[in-house]
A = this chain, B = another copy of it.
Amino acid sequence: MRYRFSFDGYSPEEEAFYGTILTLGNGYLGIRGEVELEPSLYGTTIAGVYDYAPYFYREIVNAPRAVGLRLFLNGEPLSLSTQRIRRYERELDIGEAVLRTEVEVELQQGGTLGYESVRIVHGSRKEVVILKFRVKPGRSGTLTIISPINTDTVNPLYREEITAKHYRVKRHSSHDDAIYTEVETTDGRYRIGIASSLAVSCRHSRFIVKNTDGIAEVFQLDVEEGKEYEFIRYAVISYTSGKDDIEQPVLKKLRDAKNAGFDVLYREHREYWQELWSAAEVRILGDEEAEKGLLFSLFHLMQCMPVDSRISLTARGIHGFGYRGHVFWDTEIYALPFFMAVFPEKAREMLVYRYNNLDAARENARANGYRGAQFPWESADDGYEATPPAIPTDMTGKNAIRIYTGEEEHHITADIAYAVELYYRFTGDNDFMEKYGLEIIFETARFWASRVRYDKDKGYVIEKVIGPDEYHEHVNNSFFTNMMARYNLLLAARYLELSKENEAWSRVAEAAGVTEEEAESWRKIAEKIYIPRQMDGIWEEFDGYFELLDYTVDPYGLGEERLPAEIREHLSRTKLVKQADVIALQYLLKEQFDTENIRKNFDYYLPRTTHASSLSMPTYAIIASWLGYDDIAYNYFMKCAYIDLHNLYGNTKDGFHLATAGGLWQILFRGFCGVDISGDILEIRPNLPQGWEEVALRFRFRGSRIHLRIRKDRVAVKITGGKKLKIRVFNEETNLEPEKEVILEV
């Protein structure tokens, strides 16, 4: 692969930032990028392993750390905050998913100590972590290496000083060739087994040490000035939610990895990533900077690709504890389209996760007085509402910000139904629709049918909600929410209609107890659902929005800090919008609006949007590209591409912004390349930014593998696998035959 990202200079204050952007993961494990030579409270995140937590219901567990190392030369500890650093460089190779570290320090005893490492979180052996390192002593003597499994990792809660440790150590054991630790989450649901082994090829002494901080292998060896000494640390991290013994299987996997050896493991790992990158191939000729940021984002997105449906993609990935490892609408609306088009099996897992939690969503609806299934705003491993009702703002915890999203941000339920439909239309995955999708669509429609209230003047209204724009709480008739609810209701009614001609589907409908009368009521509600007024073609974001204090901001700015205090402290009284809301709806349901209406709304809402949410810019960028607002579109694309590399929101330390990464890909795919489904036909209407020569990318559509090369006025399409396909390019339909590239010009 083309891109390597290098960073130099060690600073303890910046470690948390690098911790996120140098995270390695494989969808199962996440190991943050903090340098292994210093202590860290960050350990391992394991997708799907959660525990009860104060304030946050359940959160992803910070499991023990199995990559830390302590080195001593002649008793002097290698210490980056203490010794003078001659060289400190870290390089993330996103092609091979490898993190390299090079360090050279000046010892207090005189002379230098060099260290180089290669860190891998194995792609296909999901539980395997490898750290190969080389020590170069600048003077002769005794080298001591401590290679621990640290059990002192904790989750920070509402502030760094307050932490929760989510596991208890059940057992440490030592073996001739390994150490092993087993911990159990405080709720008893998960046991995690971790084995580690340091392979040392030269003569050495080996000791074991166990204490309240963990267990470690300790090695001591005589070293000579100027020589290099190589070590390979293998670790296996596994978990179970059952009663099964995991020590033996974990040790076996460790020995298997060790027997395979570094070179074989590295080859497997490279092959895994070559496959991913070849499926996700994307090139931007003429703008290396844009391509670099895009690939960096896709790399981190792919690192989070779920291994199964026990958990879906989370807001900040396996990279950190931001949003506590919860799943939001970010997943379905922002991240899923990339997977749907590139790794459709993974998009399916993500939706099956929602299906698996349908019972919890039903309970949630019942508890709130509704019918059907109401998905939680924030979802953890068990599918119950995990949004904190309040987050403390001081040490005593007495002062807190009340959080209403869990109680009011109901559009998530329609967003999931929307994603089901989008996935199905894009992939044609009938098996999915029959087994999972239909039931989700029916049950979510039922929720909306019970959520509306009939008002004799307005029709069906939806009161007391929060739309995507979270500055305005307890609003009535959010444009976004009501439109999505209507969409959801009609979708369900349409699928009941289609079921009449599909035996499998009709069985699903029958099992779900959906009748023609119910579908009729859905259509009736949809027809009479109240949509907020328009003024001059501008949709009112919710009832009363137009009466609020007007205030506009520079569309190239970002966040709330630029606002004067009197505005910032009273955002809910202003027309300012946190993120794309009306515009997000116009993106999702674009077929319901004409371009002029979209333009009017875009022109109106853009200067009123602060983009304080990282979900905002992608939507605006896509629509900007459709409208020919090239500067805005490109500017937002680049900001999204560098959101974490440049720490644009100041919170990169809490994890990677996955929704933005997914949104970035959508800017490219839906915006710049102009890919869409119109009816049953794939449509391409390029809107490439200035200076972009060509975008080349691969994706899959209804079983066909498609390779696109797009220029401003020329599109080359080729089916590299699959069957023939009709597509529309530059408004003209064309038939594609497999393996034959067709070139179309404007």
Contact = CB atoms under 8 A, between A and B. Distances in A.
Nearest to A76: B207
Interface string A162-177: 1111101000000000
A51 B395 contact: yes
A205 interface: yes
Interface stretch (A53-61, A93-101, A287-295, A418-426): A53-61
A38 B166 contact: no
A396 B205 contact: no
A162 B158 CA distance: 12
A164 B165 contact: no
Contacts of A213: 39
Nearest to A168: B161
B220 A53 contact: no
B209 A82 contact: yes
A39 B211 contact: yes
Interface string A189-224: 000000000000000010111111100001110000
Contact of A218 (B77, B210, B394): B77
A79 B209 contact: yes
B109 A205 contact: yes
B220 A74 contact: yes
Contacts of A57: 396
A154 interface: yes
A75 B207 contact: yes
Interface in A421-457: none
Nearest to A34: B212
Interface string A528-554: 000000000000000000000000000
A637 to B, nearest CB: 37
Interface residues of A, number: 54
A52 B393 CA distance: 12
A176 to B, nearest CB: 12
Report copies per complex.
Answer: 2
A49 to B, nearest CB: 15
A108 interface: yes
Interface in A627-662: none
B81 A210 contact: yes
Given A77-B207, A161-B165, A207-B77, A212 B72 contact: no
Contacts of A722: none
Contact of A75 (B55, B109, B205, B392): B205
A108 B392 contact: no
B186 A395 contact: yes
Given A109-B205, A163-B154, A211 B54 contact: no
A146 B396 CA distance: 36
B75 A218 contact: yes
A77 B216 CA distance: 10
A37 to B, nearest CB: 9
A40 interface: yes
Contacts of A54: 162, 392, 395-397
Nearest to A142: B142
B212 A12 contact: yes
Contact of A205 (B12, B76, B79, B82): B76
A396 to B, nearest CB: 5
A211 B38 contact: yes
A39 B215 CA distance: 12
A51 B396 CA distance: 9
A109 B207 contact: yes
A187 interface: yes
A75 B38 contact: no
Interface string A104-139: 000011000000000000000000000000000000
A218 B397 contact: no
A144 interface: yes
Contacts of A108: 207-208
B218 A39 contact: no
A321 B642 CA distance: 46
Contacts of A165: 160-163
A52 B398 CA distance: 10
Taking each of A53, A75, A152, A163, which has the highest tally of chain B beta carbons within 10 Å of its own beta carbon?
A75
A202 to B, nearest CB: 14
A39 B394 CA distance: 30
A209 B39 CA distance: 12
A188 to B, nearest CB: 11
B53 A395 contact: yes
A52 to B, nearest CB: 4
Given A52-B395, A161-B166, A394-B52, A212 B40 contact: yes
A209 B77 contact: yes
Nearest to A81: B210
Contacts of A205: 74-76, 109
Contacts of A152: 152
A432 B182 CA distance: 60
A399 to B, nearest CB: 11
Nearest to A54: B397
Contacts of A160: 165
Taking each of A41, A109, A218, A219, which has the highest tally of chain B beta carbons within 10 Å of its own beta carbon?
A218
A701 B671 CA distance: 91
Given A75-B220, A157-B162, 19 more contacts: A12-B212, A38-B212, A39-B211, A40-B212, A52-B396, A54-B392, A55-B397, A74-B142, A74-B220, A76-B205, A76-B218, A81-B210, A81-B211, A142-B142, A154-B163, A161-B166, A161-B168, A163-B165, A186-B395
Q: Top 8 closest A-B pairs, CB basis?
A: A75-B220, A52-B395, A54-B397, A76-B207, A79-B209, A77-B209, A75-B144, A161-B165
8 contacts: A12-B212, A38-B212, A40-B212, A53-B396, A81-B210, A81-B211, A160-B165, A161-B168
